Chain A
């Protein structure tokens, strides 16, 4: 994989590169999360694990439109955002296992991975909890004139939090470079969003004057195109936007949520998995466009799997922090 963009390359060559980069990144998230599931069920991972499987196209399509210096805020279901923004898998796994080598020295865990080097302001375990932080980062970017944009990822559950509307109002008033990116996987934990969400979602943002659109969250190219448009617009000083990415959580709210019949039908899950898998849909597109073939997919899979396996081995072997570190980092 190369990320260098040669100025003489044609648009179509760049597009091909981008497509394969996005494919690889989506696959990386998928394999990362499958390993999380495995580590969790083997009791090697403490705490909670909220898998992003099924939603990979959103993080990857959005982050493809960001620079490394741009900011993101993430959620409890945040591994995909971290990977898409460029985090190292070994340090992510180490954090998930509570190891000293993890991104947060084991103090944050799955729901709090943060990485200044990739502009990741942190995953947040309070639903809607990062809306203020994301808007504040956009505020600072505008004041400091550094050209950065912030994407605030949140699930449709956060639509129930008042603070989201407070900060959207201020972002619109002050024309801040922030994109509110709602991942609607249809379930607020164990409750269908139709039971919690009145009216029309995009109309809520439009009420503050935020432009936006609904996008197919399973189509990475559609996500990228919409994200690019509104991120470029924000970077140009034209203010915030709201994107609604419709998607589906292939697994439970967390790994332990295995009996899901009481809140959603197996048939619904099957339909999404068999017909709306973002990686499957994209690979079909790539083949149809002659951008890749099965041999290329096999090659990418082998490379990504090797990288993920190495990262897991690193994390499993890594030492825990010594107990005397417990009161470090409380104050700066």
Chain B
């Protein structure tokens, strides 16, 4: 069953992120935010606007443009009693932080035989079609999914963003939290009351019986639009959002695949060696004898993201490509 949200108000995804951070900072004095232009500017995307007024510039801390340096500082601060949330603005900049995340944050707990912990969150963005070209448009979350010791979260709704970010901040491990930069103004119901969503639980966004579409982040909404088009053709599509790529709720994915016997996996990261490839493999291993067709991946085209709008638009899956892929999997039903 899709998670039932009883809320009388709607807020944007950006507001949901801000609420989650503010609530956790009120709840726990060890939580603080650091990054470039997070304080008075409230980040380049204005997601944190006003937070510095409540929490002060010590807890909403502007840093130099030194992603590796301040991520490393977050790792050390997390080990020694703080709970940092670092802001990476454009997700493309995670390349600068990789040693800190991959060789330090991810491994400290294991290498120390479980003695040191790194309870930190890295917030980063993903998503193309903002006309920002090749170094400001990538969806690189699969890099972190590849590394044991890290958790990776990709919310698709304001409700999920708030509940998952609160859990990420309370988690004892390094968590990378990806927000689609095109969705900060996307509205959805969010209860005013306190709630959290556990990491590792997928959400069935739409129930269906003929085909399963597994989708992440903004691709969930492309999948839901495609499901409406398919419905007009008498095709019943189930849309599942894993919400966290690690831990991954394999059971929900496999159960749905067994039920519908046809699966499309959508992700805005690159398809080759990507998150969708892993999910497709999980489903193939877990539901092979119930499948009527090979699992189909729909991902970012394997090119650097171009600037020119018609070129950039061609790199991302659309409801039309999903619709056509679904019809093909169903043998033209």
A residues neighboring B (CB under 8 Å)? 71, 73, 102-108, 112, 114-116, 121-122, 124, 126, 129-141, 143-144, 146, 150, 162-163, 166-167, 169-170, 173, 328-332
12 A-B residue pairs with Cβ-Cβ distance under 8 Å, sorted by A, are: A104-B115, A114-B111, A114-B112, A116-B116, A124-B104, A126-B104, A130-B104, A136-B75, A137-B76, A139-B77, A139-B82, A163-B69
Q: Contacting B72 at CB < 8 Å: which of A108, A132, A146?
A: A132
Say yes or no: A107-B76 contact (C-beta < 8 A), given A132-B100, A332-B117. Answer: no
Chain B stretch 108-156: residues in CB contact (< 8 A) with chain A: 108-119, 148-149, 151
Does B64 interact with chain A (Cβ within 8 Å)?
A: yes
Does B283 interact with chain A (Cβ within 8 Å)?
A: no
Q: Looking at the assembled complex, report how far the CB atom of A234 sits from the nearest CB atom of chain B, in whole angstroms.
A: 15
Q: Could you say which of B66, B73, B111 has the most chain A C-beta atoms within 10 Å of its C-beta?
A: B73
Q: Is the CB of B77 within 8 A of A137?
A: yes
Q: State the total of A-B contacts with C-beta under 8 angstroms.
A: 151
Q: Is the CB of A330 within 8 A of B149?
A: yes
Q: Is the CB of B64 within 8 A of A166?
A: yes
Contacts of B112 in A (CB 8 A): 103-104, 107-108, 112, 114, 122
Q: Is the CB of A136 within 8 A of B80?
A: yes
Contacts of B78 in A (CB 8 A): 136
Say yes or no: A137-B109 contact (C-beta < 8 A), given A169-B64, A332-B173. Answer: no
Contacts of B104 in A (CB 8 A): 124, 126, 129-130, 132-133
B residues neighboring A (CB under 8 Å)? 32, 58, 63-64, 66, 68-82, 84, 99-100, 103-104, 108-119, 148-149, 151, 172-173
**What's the Cα separation between A129 and B112 when bound, in Å?**
15
Contacts of A163 in B (CB 8 A): 68-69, 72, 99-100
Q: Is the CB of A136 within 8 A of B81?
A: no
Q: Is the CB of A143 within 8 A of B72?
A: no
Q: Is the CB of B111 within 8 A of A167?
A: no
Q: Contacting A71 at CB < 8 Å: which of B80, B99, B108, B111?
A: B80
Contacts of B110 in A (CB 8 A): 107, 329-330
Q: Is the CB of B115 within 8 A of A116?
A: yes
Q: Looking at the assembled complex, report how far the CB atom of A148 sits from the nearest CB atom of chain B, in whole angstroms.
A: 8
Q: Looking at the assembled complex, report how far the CB atom of B109 sits from the nearest CB atom of chain A, in whole angstroms.
A: 5
**What's the Cα separation between A140 and B32 when bound, in Å?**
11
**What's the Cα separation between A73 and B76 when bound, in Å?**
10
Q: Looking at the assembled complex, report how far the CB atom of A73 sits from the nearest CB atom of chain B, in whole angstroms.
A: 8
Q: Could you say which of B76, B119, B149 has the most chain A C-beta atoms within 10 Å of its C-beta?
A: B76
